[in-house]
């Protein structure tokens, strides 16, 4: 299957980022959200991002105009009929995603592939809620989508080889580097990353080093661009805690127990950058 038009549900951070990546690569986009204001905000975010690329001499003004012309904003799921692939990029809420996916499944043609941009929800479970489990797959883009090269392609138990190959080819067309992952809690990257962040909190709680030295150690000793505690503040400490709780529940392994200090920070409302204070003050 040749994918020439991609439908995207959700015009927020992930949705408009995916839309930009597609449009810049010559792929037509239909970006759908619940309100016209949300759609227009998403398109405006893409325009602003493209303007920054123009200033860096990465693209021309003509490239920007061409990309924006490929993005159609809409509040109607009916407009997804032109797409060969529909990517659900709504909020990370299981019930909301199920509702959206069932609605899309009933509207689009049987041969259309449906993907979810989930970072944690079971692809096998989401696929089972549709009538095309073999044509359902996970595409986990990373934020900010236009800059981050990685896409985790997650195969549910029912995902066909043809579906996987078509989505992998699309990711490569977008200039991304896809890795194929079996369905499991946290997939690959977050499965490794979030427990590392959690361990950094244990090190901090034990008083082994200051936050600055912990982060400097991981940056300089492991060649990471940002330390785990600063990264936790960026992700949101509440998000890190929620992910650890999911791992503990799903795997039943005590190695995934959340650090008490992480729980304390969340209980205090120190969630990171979004609240102005987490491990660090902002």
Name the residues annotated as catalytic. 119, 140, 152, 190
**DSSP run (H or E) holding 173:** helix 161-173
Contact status, residue 179 vs residue 150, Cβ threshold 8 Å:
yes
Contact status, residue 42 vs residue 66, Cβ threshold 8 Å:
no
Two tokens at 155?
């195969």
Cis peptide before 90 (omega within 30 of 0): no
Task: Quote the DSSP letter at residue 133.
Answer: G
Q: Roughly how many angstroms between the first and final C-alpha of the chain, as a whole number?
A: 48
Rg (CA), the chain: 20
* CA 268/CA 206 separation, integer angstroms: 19
Q: Is 257 exposed, middle or buried (0-12, 13-18, 19+ CB in 10 A)?
A: middle
CA 170, 171, 177, 178 torsion: positive or negative? negative
* CA 259/CA 88 separation, integer angstroms: 32
Cis peptide before 144 (omega within 30 of 0): yes
Given strand 85-88, what is the order of strands in its sheet?
A: 71-74, 28-32, 5-9, 85-88, 113-116, 136-141, 150-155, 177-182
């Amino acid at each position: 299957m040749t994918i020439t038009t991609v439908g995207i549900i959700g015009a927020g951070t992930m949705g408009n980022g995916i839309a930009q990546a597609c449009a810049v690569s010559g792929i037509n986009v239909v970006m759908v959200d619940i309100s016209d204001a949300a759609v227009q905000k998403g398109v405006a975010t893409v325009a602003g991002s493209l303007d920054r690329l123009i200033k860096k001499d990465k693209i021309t003004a003509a490239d920007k105009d061409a990309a924006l012309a490929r993005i159609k904003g809409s509040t109607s799921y009916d407009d997804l009929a032109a797409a060969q692939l529909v990517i659900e990029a709504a909020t990370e809420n299981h019930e909301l995603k199920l509702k959206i996916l069932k609605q899309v499944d009933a509207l689009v043609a049987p041969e259309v592939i449906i993907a979810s941009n989930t970072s944690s929800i079971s692809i096998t479970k989401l696929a089972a809620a549709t009538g095309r489990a073999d044509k359902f797959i996970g595409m986990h883009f990373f934020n900010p989508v236009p800059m981050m090269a990685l896409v985790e392609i997650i195969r549910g138990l029912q995902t066909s080889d043809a579906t996987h190959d078509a989505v992998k080819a699309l990711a490569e067309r977008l200039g991304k580097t896809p890795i194929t992952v079996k369905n499991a809690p946290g997939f690959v990257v977050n499965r490794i990353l979030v427990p590392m962040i959690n361990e950094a909190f244990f090190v901090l709680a034990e008083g082994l080093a200051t936050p600055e030295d912990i982060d400097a150690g991981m940056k300089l000793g492991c060649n990471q661009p940002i330390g785990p505690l600063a990264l936790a503040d960026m992700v949101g400490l509440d998000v890190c805690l929620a992910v650890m709780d999911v791992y503990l529940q799903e795997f039943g392994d005590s190695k995934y127990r959340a650090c008490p200090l992480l729980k304390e920070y969340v209980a205090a409302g120190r969630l990171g950058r979004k609240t102005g204070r987490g491990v660090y003050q902002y």
